[in-house]
Structure 1
Amino acid sequence: MASILDTVDQRTNLVGENRLELLLFHLQGRQLFAINVFKVKEVVKLPALNKLPNSHPKISGVAAIRGESIPVINLREAIGLKPLPVDEQCNLIITEYNRTVQGFLVGKVEHIVNMNWGEIMPPPSSVGRNHYLTAITKLEREGVVELVEIIDVEKVLAEIVEYKLSISEGVVDTEISQEFIGRKILHVDDSSTARKQVDGTLSQLGIEIIPACNGRQALDILQGWADQGKKVEDEILMLITDAEMPVMDGYKLTNEIRNDPRMAGLHIVLNTSLSGSFNQAMVEKVGCDDFLSKFQPDSLVEVVQKRLKDKISKN
Structure 2
Amino acid sequence: MAGILDSVNQRTQLVGQNRLELLLFKLKGRQRYGINVFKVREVLQCPPLTSMPKLNSFVKGIAHIRGQTISVIDMGLATGGRPIQDVENSFIIITEYNRTIQGFLVDSVERIVNLNWESIMPPPQGSGRYNYLTAVTEIDKELVEILDVEKILEEIAPSSTQVSAGVVSDSGIKDDLGDRSILIVDDSSVARNQVKRALEGVGLPIVAKKNGKEALDYLAEISADCAESVTEKIGLLISDVEMPEMDGYTLTAEVKSRPKLSDLHVILHTSLSGVFNHAMVEKVGADDFIAKFNPDELAGAVQKWLHQD
Whether 1:189 and 2:189 are equivalent positions in the alignment is no
Relative to structure 1, the CA distance from residue 129 to residue 25 in structure 2 (aligned partners, 3 Å threshold; closer, same or farther) is closer
Is the CA contact 1:183–1:206 (under 8 Å) kept in the aligned structure 2? no
Map 1:70-81 → 2, pairs under 5 A: 70-81=70-81
1:182 & 1:125 partners in 2: Cα distance?
A: 34
Deviation for aligned residue 1:128: 6.6
Deviation for aligned residue 1:135: 0.5
Q: Which amino acid aligns with 1:93?
A: I
RMSD: 1.9
Map 1:119-134 → 2, pairs under 5 A: 119-127=119-127, 131-134=131-134
1:306 maps to which residue? Answer: 304
Q: Percent identity?
A: 52
Is the CA contact 1:43–1:91 (under 8 Å) kept in the aligned structure 2? yes
Other structure's SS at 2:89 match: coil
Deviation for aligned residue 1:50: 1.0
TM-score (norm: length of structure 2): 0.93
2:158 maps to which residue? Answer: 162
1:291 & 1:276 partners in 2: Cα distance?
A: 12
2:102 & 2:17 partners in 1: Cα distance?
A: 29
Name whichever of 81-90 and 245-254 sits farther off: 81-90
1:200 & 1:86 partners in 2: Cα distance?
A: 40
Deviation for aligned residue 1:10: 2.4
Q: Deviations over 1:247-291 (max 9, x none)?
A: 111111111111112211210010101226343222112210001
Whether 1:223 and 2:220 are equivalent positions in the alignment is yes
1:129 & 1:30 partners in 2: Cα distance?
A: 15
Other structure's SS at 2:55 match: coil
Is the CA contact 2:226–2:232 (under 8 Å) kept in the aligned structure 1? no
Deviation for aligned residue 1:30: 0.7
2:69 & 2:10 partners in 1: Cα distance?
A: 28
Is the CA contact 1:182–1:206 (under 8 Å) kept in the aligned structure 2? no
TM-score (norm: length of structure 1): 0.91
1:3 maps to which residue? Answer: none
2:205 to 205, 208, 211: 208
1:276 & 1:37 partners in 2: Cα distance?
A: 11
Q: Which amino acid aligns with 1:60?
A: K
Is the CA contact 1:139–1:146 (under 8 Å) kept in the aligned structure 2? yes
Is the CA contact 1:241–1:268 (under 8 Å) kept in the aligned structure 2? yes
2:78 & 2:235 partners in 1: Cα distance?
A: 37
